[in-house]
């Protein structure tokens, strides 16, 4: 993207720098936890890999993979730079507005990219805390994790889109009632993204689709 086009779309020089030269990009094979938010079907997807110092709950390393626009890549890159070395408590204070402002601002229609990168970080923290036994895997936990699963049609999370109609947690088993025609492309996309969202957790998913 040329400088003229970048200005036309409202991208700052810092956004373009992180888009063209993203920091912390790649796969981490020995990650303590991963999180995947967004959907290829709706155009924006982020997968995060984090490694922690367990004694301090400090982020020792963080990497990301991104599918999407320049803002998606830039916000993920900047977010990883901002939180690396912080404890979970410290990193939770970093907001999507902080990410956007540190990048010199984003066009209003691209602010959702900063929101998505921040959601990916929170999802990773929740999964790490669940694996450590610090939080309980209950209906509230499940709802928070599903905030990172998007309805590819509306581009919002499946909780807000009212695709999720019911949640029940019994031990390791998580049962979800979902509003979508069984065997439809929507159901297949949502099912795949839900399984990815809970990757690495010792849970059993029971997805029940109905029109």
Q: Return the CATH number at 166.
A: 3.30.300.130
How far, in Å, CA of 1 to CA of 54, rounded? Answer: 41
Residues 158 and 104 in one domain: no
Tally of structural domains, the chain: 2
HSE, side-chain direction, 13 A CA sphere, residue 9: 17
Q: Which residue range forms the structural domain that includes residue 107?
A: 1-134
Which pLDDT value is given to residue 5? 47
Residues 119 and 173 in one domain: no
Low-confidence winner among 37-51, 107-121, 178-192 (lowest mean pLDDT): 37-51
H or E stretch including 63? strand 58-67
Residues 120 and 147 in one domain: no
Residues 118 and 170 in one domain: no
Catalytic residue annotation:
42, 113
Residues 115 and 148 in one domain: no
Residues 26 and 112 in one domain: yes
Residues 6+ apart with CB under 8 A from 17: none
Residues 6+ apart with CB under 8 A from 8: none
Residues 84 and 171 in one domain: no
Domain closes at, from 134, 169, 199? 134
Pairing status of strand 58-67 against strand 44-53:
antiparallel
How far, in Å, CA of 62 to CA of 121, rounded? Answer: 10
Residues 113 and 210 in one domain: no
Q: Are 71 and 109 in contact (CB under 8 A)?
A: no
Residues 123 and 175 in one domain: no
Strand partners, 47: 36, 65
Interval 112-116 mean pLDDT: 93
Which pLDDT value is given to residue 2? 47
In this prediction, residue 203 has a pLDDT band, given cuts at 50, 70 and 90, of: very high
Interval 55-69 mean pLDDT: 94
Residue 36 gets which letter from DSSP?
A: E
pLDDT in tens, 117-153: 999 999 999 999 999 999 999 999 999 999 999 998 8
């Amino acid at each position: 993207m040329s400088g003229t086009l970048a200005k036309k779309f409202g991208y700052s020089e810092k956004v373009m720098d992180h888009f063209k030269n993203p920091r912390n990009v790649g796969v981490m094979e020995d990650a303590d936890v991963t999180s995947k938010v967004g959907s290829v079907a709706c155009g924006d997807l982020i997968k995060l890999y984090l490694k922690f110092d367990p004694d301090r709950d400090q982020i020792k390393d963080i990497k990301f993979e991104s599918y999407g626009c320049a803002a998606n890549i830039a916000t993920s890159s900047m977010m990883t730079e901002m939180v690396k070395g912080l404890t979970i408590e410290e990193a939770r204070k970093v907001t999507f507005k902080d990410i956007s402002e540190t990048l010199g601002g984003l066009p209003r229609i691209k602010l959702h990219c900063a929101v998505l990168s921040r959601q990916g970080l929170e999802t990773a923290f929740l999964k790490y805390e669940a694996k450590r036994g610090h939080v309980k895997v209950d209906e509230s936990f499940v709802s928070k994790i599903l905030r990172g699963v998007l309805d590819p049609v509306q581009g919002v999370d499946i909780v807000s889109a009212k695709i999720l109609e019911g949640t029940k947690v019994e031990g390791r088993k998580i049962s979800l009632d979902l509003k979508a025609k069984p065997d439809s492309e929507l159901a297949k996309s949502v099912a795949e993204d839900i399984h990815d969202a809970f990757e690495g957790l010792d849970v059993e998913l029971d997805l029940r689709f109905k029109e």
